[in-house]
Every structure is written in structure tokens, then in C-alpha cells.
Structure 1
Amino acid sequence: MSLADILAPARLQQAALTRRRLRDAVQQQGCLLFGAGNNGRQLARRLAALPDAPALHGFISDVAADQGRDIAGLPVWSRSDALAKFGAQVPVVNCVYRADVTIGTVMQGLSDSGFARVLSLPDLYTAFDTLPPIYGYGTPQLLHDSAARIARVEALLADDLSRTIFRELVNQRVTLDFTAPRMVDRAIYFPAGLITRPRLCADDATLVFVDCGAYTGDTLDGFAAWHPDSHAHAVAFEPDPASFAKLQAAATRVQAATGMQVSCVPAAAGAAPGRIGFLPLGNEASHTVSVSEAEAAGGSTVALDSVDHALAERGLTASYVKYDVEGFEREAIAGTHMAITRDAAALAVSVYHRPDDLWDIPLLLQGLQPRYDFYLREHGPDGVDTVLYALSR
């Protein structure tokens, strides 16, 4: 299917009508939320704050220790108890959205348990257009308004695989159909044949890898496995104190195993040095917010630094910069201005955290560095871990 067919006005109008019907069903009958983790609790708070808030009947959880108690002020039911109390027709929203399980698999399991009206997290968020967007999923209106920019990005992509992935992702945002299986490349940030040392730096140069959103060092380990020698220097940004301690342990391990130098930066990667609000969720979804949002949600503030500043302090020139900063990618890119415009450093940018990242970030980067070729790869299910690679010609 062509991009023009995917974004045809009649298709988008039908998608909008489907969302309105889902919203009406939830408002009339209330809903249950499957999964009492961060996504479920966040959705419960946001729904409760709506002027036309639907009834929240509670959570469904497969965790036995949670069943029968309250979480975030809502009761937690087992599947069988929820089905017996509320019936098969109550809308159930699957709040499980992560890289190790597909949305379709979880939704099918809920259907097999007897629930007749199972919604995905993107279904619910895009049905209530007064809710903030969830990950890469926006409203049909956003897709309509962005059609010209989306078409420009398809033309920018450098290979057929990238264009196919791009069209499939845009189509999924229209249909919210998670049943069709898609192949993903698990070699995130280092896909074979695409990321090679000759494409990143000269043979006699030190390869400088910058990891924005280093978490506990998982990507650092991946870099060391891909480039296991001392002719490299990694600079890893991580603002969460708990994750930073684990990152330092990973850095010590990598340095001992490879001889490469690793610099750990206890800060979020942003446009300039300073401070910013932060919500430490205890997992890879911890993220930056405004200071006022952090204070309201019981978070904290953390240090902020730019890639350009951190590199200049160390006398380094970036070869390859990776960004996975939970929706803060554009701000981190702003702080990589010199590395992009002067040095044409290779980039790997997560483009699934905000609905328009998939097309706005490539256009932003093209404006900064016309020498880039762009490639798109999926490294997780349902759009999770979709990465844009910008490589200089």
C-alpha cells in the first residue's frame, strides 16, 4: 500500500470514527485496566483527571500478590474475578506496552480469557484526544495535518527496507492493528551491514561513541561486544542515580575487558548545561520532565549537560551518538549541534517516544546536516525501539 493510500482522507475519517466509538463505549460502561505497572497507574491518574472521566472499575493483574488489594486507590482483580463481577462486555484496556512482548499477544490472551471488548493502550489514548499522546501514537487528525511532512521523509530514506518499515509504522498508527507479525532486528544500534567502523571514523582515529540515555550500561555492553578493543572511547550520559551506579560498574567491566576508556556523565543529555526535573521510575522508562511536573509528581531535579560541552571538556570529537532519552531526543540533538553540523557524526535516534518524532526528527537532522543519509530499523515489537540512523555520505 502506498503512503498516499495509507493517509487517504476517507481512511483517516474512518479511523477517527472508530476512536469516537471506543471513547463512547468506555464513557458509558467504564473500563478495567490490565496491568497495574507504571503505564496502568499513569493512565488511571490521567483518566480520573478528565472533566468527563469514565468509571474506573480497577486493575486486572496476573500477579497473585497484587490481587485483592488496592493500587493507586483502585481494586486489583484476577482475570476470572473481574470477568465474574463485570461481565464479558466491559471494556478492558491492555496497559502492557514494552519491548519483550507484543500488544497483540497480550490482547489475544485477554480475549481468550473471555473478555469481548479488549482495547490497546494506543486505542484508549487516541480515543480520548484530551489525553496527552502515548509513545508514537497520535490522533488521525495529527496524521492528516502531517501528511506532507510524512511524504517528505519517505523520499529521504535511503533504502527500500527503510521505506517499507516507514509505511508499515504509519499504517499501524492509522489502524492500531497489532495482529500482523513483523520481523525485527534485535541488534539495536549496531545492525549488521549498516553500522560499520569505516562508516563511523577513519582507521587511524579513536572511535568516540556517545551514549545518551545509557541506563545501566546495556548499550555500553553492546558497543564493547561490537568493538572489543582499546581503540575507542565511550561517553555515557545517565541522570538516574540508581542506574548511574550500575552504569559505573558496567564501565569498569568494559574497561577491564577491552582496554577502551569510558567516561560516565551523571546528567541528562540536553541542549545546554543546567538542571531539569526527573521522574525516577526504577526502570528504563525514567525520564526528564519540567521542574514543576517533577515537584508535583514527587520527583526530583538532576544535572543537565550537552553532548558538545561534555566532548569539549574531554578534548574529543564524536564518531557516533546514540539517543534513547524517553521523548527528550530533540533537546539532546540541540546540544549536539557542533558534532552534527561540523563533524557530521553518525547518529542513532529513537523515534518512537512522541507521535511526530518519526517524521519531524529526520527533517530536523536534514536541516542541520545535508550530508546525512537516513535509514530506519525496527528493533522491538509494535514500534518499540524504532531507530533512525543518520550516516554521513
Structure 2
Amino acid sequence: SSPSSESYVENDWQIQYFPPWLLKLPLWKNGINFIDCGSYIGDTLASAAQVLKEADVQLNTMQCFEPDPKNFHLLNKTAKELVSQGINTYLFPCGVWEENTILSFSADLSQGKFADSQQITDNNQLLPVIALDDTSIASSVNFIKMDIEGAEPNALKGAKEIIKHQSPLLAISVYHEPAHLWQIAQQIESYNPNYEYKLHCHGDFGLEIILYAIPK
């Protein structure tokens, strides 16, 4: 059926990952220790620096994971520009997955995607992926964002221990696969039942739908 205004999901026009209610949470009294999965060219990093400064919330550390070499180069540039603002950024040129391995990566403009196989084609390259549980060991994490083109369930599996024991706020993209709208919440709930959930549509035509899991 053709698109209709009856079924149109409206853009809420709130800043993605930082809606007003989130900035007021008591979670941030000692600042934010942020993990950004799918950092692209540093757009979330730049947004975090600006929005949190305006909200008077301290950004303690930012761990950024971006596997695409072209994007990583621009992410690096963004991070260097923010050094003067006292933003401590740790950059990792790899993707986020359920284990530490090498996967075939298809770089399609801004939407790079991992294939769950080691097969390589003309358009693909082999790139490293990590599990957050094996990487951010003993680091205090209270905010994890994921926008990784459908690999969110795999990456959450690799962050199970962090979710279980540290209860970070989670902002997870759920629009890449229809079933992710409910499956990702179920997955988080199976790791840690002490979450409440909100869905925001930050883009037009049902794009940029983010599931926020807020620790109770």
C-alpha cells in the first residue's frame, strides 16, 4: 500500500540520544562515561560535547568504535578538534560484535555493514570486531549508544556482563530490522530486568527509531 498520513510516524524533533528527559536523569551526577558504537565521523561525539555542556553535565570519557577507515579518519579529526574543550576521547578502529574476531565489512557510503561470515567480495574488506565485555574491562560505563546497521543484537550479546553488572543507560537503534522493535528490548530484559523503556522516532518515515533502556 502507498504511504499515508494516517500511518506516518512523526519525527519528535528532539536531539537524538539526548532528549530533554534524559539530560535530567540523576544518573549523571558524577558525569557521563560514554561508549559510542558506530561513531561514524564523530557526529554523536560532537553533539554530546555541545549538548552536555549546555545542560551542565560533565562528559568524563568517550570511547568511540568505528570500523570504516574513511569514517575513522574523519572521527579522528573531530576528536582532535574537541581536545581544547577538555573532551577525553578514546578511538578504536574496529566494530562491535559478540566476540573478538575478523568479519567481512561492506562499506556502502555512510552505512557500513558487517556480514556474519568471513567471505570477502570485491566490495568488502576484512575488519576487526570486538566484544565490549572484553574491551572496556573495569572501566565505569553508564551510557552506551549503538547504531551499527543491524548488528545491535550481536553487540549487545558482547556487552552482556556490562549490562548485567553496571546497568548503563542504553540508546539502541531498532529500525534496521522490523523485529528489532521488540526483540532488542526482550534481549536487554533477559540480561537485566531492572530497566524501563522508551521509544523515540528521531527521523522522518520511521527512520532513526531509538530504544532507550533506562535503569530503574
TM-score of the two chains, using structure 2 as the length reference: 0.90
Number of residue pairs the alignment of both structures matches: 211
Q: Which residue of 1 aligns with 2:172?
A: 349
Q: Which residue of 2 aligns with 1:277?
A: 104
Q: CA offset at residue 341 of structure 1?
A: 0.3
Q: Which residue of 2 aligns with 1:224?
A: 49
Identity %: 25
CA contact (8 A) 2:49 2:59 kept: no
- Give 1:248's match in structure 2, choosing from 62, 67, 76: 76
Q: CA offset at residue 197 of structure 1?
A: 5.8
CA contact (8 A) 2:32 2:142 kept: yes
Say which one has the larger Rg: 1
- Give 2:62's match in structure 1, choosing from 234, 239, 263: 234
Quick check: 1:207 aligned with 2:26? no
**Against the structure 1 CA distance between its residues 176 and 360, is the aligned structure 2 distance closer, same or farther, given a 3 Å change threshold?**
farther
Task: Return the structure number with greater relative CO, CA threshold 8 A, min gap 6.
Answer: 2
What amino acid sits opposite 2:42 in the alignment?
Answer: G
Q: Give the secondary-structure state (helix, strand or coil) at the position aligned to 2:135.
A: helix
What amino acid sits opposite 2:107 in the alignment?
Answer: P
Is the strand fraction higher in 1 or 2? Answer: 2
Q: Which runs of 4+ in 1 moved over 4 A?
A: none
Quick check: 1:184 aligned with 2:12? yes
CA contact (8 A) 1:379 1:387 kept: yes
Where structure 1 has 5 or more consecutive residues not aligned to the other structure, the ranges are 1-174
**Against the structure 1 CA distance between its residues 189 and 176, is the aligned structure 2 distance closer, same or farther, given a 3 Å change threshold?**
farther
Between the aligned partners of 1:176 and 1:345, the Cα distance in structure 2 is 40
Quick check: 1:263 aligned with 2:90? yes
- Give 1:286's match in structure 2, choosing from 112, 116, 136: 112
CA contact (8 A) 2:39 2:64 kept: yes
Between the aligned partners of 2:20 and 2:62, the Cα distance in structure 1 is 20
**Against the structure 1 CA distance between its residues 197 and 235, is the aligned structure 2 distance closer, same or farther, given a 3 Å change threshold?**
farther
Q: Which residue of 2 aligns with 1:305?
A: 130
Q: CA offset at residue 275 of structure 1?
A: 1.0
Matches within 5 A, 1:84-163: none
Q: CA-to-partner distance for each residue in 1:268-295, whole Å, 9 max, x for gaps? A: 0111212111011232x111113455x2
What amino acid sits opposite 1:272 in the alignment?
Answer: E
Q: CA offset at residue 192 of structure 1?
A: 1.0
Between the aligned partners of 1:277 and 1:217, the Cα distance in structure 2 is 23
CA contact (8 A) 1:291 1:301 kept: no
Q: CA offset at residue 363 of structure 1?
A: 1.0
CA contact (8 A) 1:186 1:380 kept: no
Q: Give the secondary-structure state (helix, strand or coil) at the position aligned to 2:144.
A: strand
Between the aligned partners of 1:242 and 1:189, the Cα distance in structure 2 is 24
Quick check: 1:380 aligned with 2:207? no
Q: CA offset at residue 176 of structure 1?
A: 5.9
Between the aligned partners of 1:237 and 1:183, the Cα distance in structure 2 is 27
Q: Give the secondary-structure state (helix, strand or coil) at the position aligned to 1:342.
A: helix
